Structure 1
Amino acid sequence: MIEVGVLGLDTSHPEKFASLLADRDDATVAAVWDSGEVRDDAYADSFCANHGATRYADPQAMIDAVDAAMVLAVDWSLHRSMAVPFLEAGVPTMIDKPLAGSTGDVAAISAAAERSGAPLFGGSAVPFHPAIAKLGEMNADTVFCSGFGDPFYYGAHLIDTVRVLIDADWSRIEPLDSDGQVAAVQFEDGSTVTFDFDGSETDGTFAFLSVGERTDTVTIESTAAELERMYGPFLDGFLAAARGRRDDRRRLIDGARLLLGVQVAFEEARTVPPDEIEARSAAMTIDSSPFLANYEPYY
């Protein structure tokens, strides 16, 4: 039995993931810590009672009590401080999207995982949708994709998905419009991707056109049914990481740097190479407080 520690109850993910794990016989949520930024004490106590978990006042106090950790707080500025102690202790760790809000945080998370060898998992669940998995078999060399919502928080869905479809690091970001919503990205294997982060809020869909050995399209709606289709495989991946059978560090770290690089390209209206994002260190930061101030969980 894999005993999981949950850090952050802000989003709908903790409840959904805990419920899915409860349906399995190989994993359970055993420990919980919450910042109180979004949920109140009554919610946290009820969550623990419903799932038979112990609530901790200090997240690091649960390190020795769990086999794997899920960092699920919506405040991405906390992800580094939450995840690094677990990674340094060798605990396989999932970090929800977006991985982090600064290049310094991304580097620290990567270094902690590399030093200990602890598997790193997480990001968006969209790449684990069965329809996306089929696209991944096409060896795409050109991809067009569209998303909606906040270009950083929800933009991670597009970028994480593309990093699964294209197994190569990015090499160049070029903004394509004056409004800072569309960008072209080149990858080291010669692939190119066009990202449109300004899709219809009303439709609430993520759409992908992949051109490779075949040409195909996938549209994923923001419905409960579609979420169910991706969450199961996503948790399968997490539990594989918890058992030491997979490690997504390379794609997650490259995707996190790409997400930050896109913000630079839009804000400064110019082409951005990866070495510049590396050089900016902690000075390159996306403030989470405006998003957090207006955030409301689905349930």
Structure 2
Amino acid sequence: MFRVGMLGTENSHALAFAKEICFKEEYKDFRITAFYALEKAPSEAIIEKCDISGAVIVDDPLDMIDMVDCVIVTNRHGKYHESCALPFIEKGKPAFIDKPFTIDPAEARNILRTAKEKHVPITGGSGCKYSPQILELKKMVEDDAFGKIYSGVMNFPASTESEYGGLYFYASHLVEMTLAVYGMDMKAVSAFINNGHITAIAHYDKYDITMQFAASKKYISVIYSENDVDVRYLDMSGIFTTEFDHFVKMVRTGKSPLSEEELLMPVLVMNAIEKSIEQKKTVKIDR
């Protein structure tokens, strides 16, 4: 039996993951034993909605160290992710860290360095990179199915005004989808705001990809290539199931589904987007 600690339960993602644990037969070897959030009400709501018995709500994350075998960190604000996850990683406990992985590149590197030193598997970030269309496009780009790619466009909402870390709260979704499809070798970004709308151009060696952080209700990918113009809507309905299954397999096998680069790069790209908006110029990705 794997005992799970959930930290940052004020996020709706926490309830989605709790439902996976509590209501799916294939995860019967997982059990939530402890909760933590800045307020107790969200944890109490999850306990009630998922009919969880025997779990405790702690006042400090460290209070659950000996109660859990792994943790799911879902705080809305990424500024809490390092402080919540690190003590558990240092004790050898696998961790899922929700988007944004962190809001600070130094914190992200510290988590990754500690996990490597302790030989602890970690995963996390946005579940949007597991959209079926994103996974298909990723393979098509890797297989050179489009031939020469001229450019591409993808959209997902984000705002610099969010109380939960500004740009970082939602930008990770689009950034991670872009990195998943076009690769981790993004060189720089040029970002600006027009009429409250953020546009960021991701510069690769072979092409530029436009990330539209538009407050639209549908999500779409467009790829302009020598072979075709590929247009498809992006389905996000099953991403929590896929993302949680990756976490379960990681805990069971001790092998992370994501590389260090896949966890770090979204933080570096968001940091560059933020700087580009502030400085009004193209900013290189600080590797």
TM range (shorter): 0.7 to 0.9
Q: CA RMSD in A?
A: 2.7
Q: Does 1:161 align with 2:184?
A: no
User: Size of the alignment, in residue pairs?
Assistant: 267
CA contact (8 A) 2:71 2:88 kept: yes
Structure-1 residue corresponding to 2:18: 18
TM-score (norm 1): 0.78
Sequence identity, in percent? 23
Deviations 1:77-120 (A, max 9, x none): 11110111122222221111111122232222222222222222
CA 85–210 in structure 1, closer or farther in 2 if over 3 Å, else same: farther
1:270 counterpart residue number: 281
Query: In 2, Cα distance between the equivalents of 1:85 and 1:135?
Result: 37
Q: Provide the residue aligned with 1:240 in structure 2.
A: 249
Instruction: Look up the equivalent residue of 1:195 and give its one-letter code.
Output: M
From 63, 68, 87, the equivalent of 2:89 is 87
Shift of 1:191: 4.9
Q: Which one of the candidate residues 266, 272, 279 is aligned to 1:261? A: 272
1:6 is matched with 6
Separation of aligned partners in 1, 2:279 and 2:5: 40
The residue number in structure 1 matching 2:164 is none
After the TM superposition, which residues 62-73 of structure 1 pair with which residues of structure 2 at under 5 Å, given as runs? 62-73=64-75
Cα drift, residue 45 of structure 1? 5.6
Moved more, 74-83 or 132-141: 132-141
Alignment of 1:185-204 (within 5 A): 185-187=202-204, 190-200=206-216, 204=217
Distance 1:170 1:64, change over 3 A: farther
Is 263-272 or 161-170 further displaced after alignment?
Answer: 161-170
Give per-residue Cα distances to partners, 1:12-67, cap 9 Å, x unaligned. Answer: 11111111222133343423332234846743663685365333333223334333
The correspondence for 1:139, drawn from 125, 141, 146, is: 141
| 1:41/1:128 CA distance change after superposition, 3 Å | closer
Question: CA-to-partner distance for each residue in 1:143-189, whole Å, 9 max, x for gaps?
Answer: 311112424322110011122213323211123665671121124x6
Stretch deviating more after TM superposition (115-124 or 241-250): 241-250
2:36–2:60: 8 Å Cα contact kept in structure 1? no
SS of residue paired to 1:262:
helix
Q: Aligned in 2, Cα 1:46/1:195: closer, same or farther, shift over 3 Å?
A: same
Structure 1 pair 230–51 and aligned structure 2 pair: CA distance change class (3 A)? farther
How many angstroms apart in 2 are the aligned matches of 1:269 and 1:261? Answer: 11
Distance 1:29-1:6 versus aligned 2 partners, 3 A rule: farther
| C-alpha spacing 1:214/1:108, structure 2 compared with 1 (3 Å) | farther
Contact kept? 1:106, 1:257, Cα under 8 Å: no
Asked if the contact 2:192/2:276 (under 8 Å) is kept, the reply is no
Partner of 1:173: 189
Code of the residue aligned with 1:165 in structure 2: it is V
Among 231, 252, 275, the residue aligned to 2:263 = 252
Q: Distance in 2 between matches of 1:116 and 1:211?
A: 44
Structure 2 stretches of 5 or more lacking a match?
143-148, 160-166
**Are positions 1:206 and 2:223 aligned together?**
no
Alignment check: 8 A CA contact 1:146 1:207 kept: yes
- What SS does the aligned partner of 2:272 have? helix
| RCO higher in structure (CA 8 A, sep ≥6) | 1
